[in-house]
Amino acid sequence: MFEIIKSGGWMMLPIILCSIAAMAIIGERFWSLQRKRIIPVDLVPYIWQLHRDNKLDDATIRRIRMSSPLGRVLAAGLLNRKHGREMMKTSIEEVGRQVAFELERYLNALGSLASITPLLGLLGTVDGIIRVFSDIAVGGMGDPGILSAGISEALICTASGLTVAIPSLFFHRYFERLVDDHVVRMEEESLRLIDIMQGNREDV
């Protein structure tokens, strides 16, 4: 493996660094975007139970806000529950936009890596081809080893860039869809909380 990397030339270094960064982002996003961490099960019924038991004080709302991204969104509405449905909905929407933005953390970087690494591979390919023609210009076509070494460098760089870019692009699209799903689910839970807190429905 080391020999393959070495034969790929100097452009392999930034490609390897990009692969490390991409793997780190993918691992972090897998951990951070777990459904149970974003949208805890039965949070709305738990809040409704606290409300019916008159235990929904400021300290409890702070704990709800710190518990999860959904808790943060719902807490914004709970703090304005006495000011009517529209105020409650507006405060939820404002915090919801902030939470959605935070859920997309590092996704732009992952998308950039998916775009950059093929270009780095292409640059390595061009560098290898330039080296081949330079060596041919100096020594002629007499040594096929010179030609094969340059072509090998070019192909390794191209393959390495694509090897990093393809999974990076796949997971970038996957995490974007996952974030969209989480946002839609948080909207549903928020509307459900507004309805039950404002007396439009009793079921949770």
**204 falls within a domain:** no
Cα–Cα distance list, 20 to 5, 16, 24, 25, 106 (Å): 15, 6, 6, 9, 14
**103 falls within a domain:** yes
**Average pLDDT, rounded, for the chain:** 86
**202 falls within a domain:** no
**203 falls within a domain:** no
Structure confidence by residue, pLDDT tens digits, 5-55: 666 667 888 999 999 999 999 999 999 999 999 999 889 989 988 888 888
118 token code pair: 């093929």
Q: Output the pTM of the full model.
A: 0.82
Number of domains in the chain: 1
Structure confidence by residue, pLDDT tens digits, 87-124: 888 999 999 999 999 999 999 999 999 999 999 988 88
Q: Which of 114, 137, 139, 123 is nearest to 8 (CA)?
A: 123
With vertex at residue 44, the alpha carbon angle to CA 39 and CA 48, rounded to the nearest 5 degrees, is 160
**62 falls within a domain:** yes
Structure confidence by residue, pLDDT tens digits, 144-175: 665 666 677 778 888 889 999 999 999 999 99
* The pLDDT value given to residue 74: 93
- Dihedral of alpha carbons 34, 36, 37, 39, sign: positive
Q: Which of 129, 110, 121, 116 is nearest to 161 (CA)?
A: 121
User: Taking the mean position of all CA atoms in its chain, how far away is CA 48?
Assistant: 32
**133 falls within a domain:** yes
Q: Which domain holds residue 160?
A: 2-197
